[in-house]
Amino acid sequence: HVRSRRQRQMCIRDRIETGFDEASPGRGRVNYRGASWDARSAQEHFATGALTTIIDRNGSNLVVGDKEL
């Protein structure tokens, strides 16, 4: 499987700040390089403080998940 340059760059870990819970399944905020970002995921729930992987970016939203590229 050959990954694009963008995919290689986006295979980075970040930390869940808020969301990804019953009140906001599949969406929340993550901390990446000291900044807070809006994020979405196919996975509905993550624990606050959990590490996850940035798998893509859609505008100013990060797409996160447990998928390792």
Q: Check residue 6 and give its pLDDT.
A: 54
pLDDT band for 69, please (50, 70, 90 cuts): very low
Q: What is the pTM of this model?
A: 0.77
pLDDT band for 1, please (50, 70, 90 cuts): very low
CA quadruple 8, 40, 50, 37: dihedral positive or negative? positive
Q: Check residue 5 and give its pLDDT.
A: 56
Name which of 60, 58, 63, 67 is nearest 20 in CA terms: 63
Torsion angle of alpha carbons 44, 49, 53, 56, nearest 10°?
70
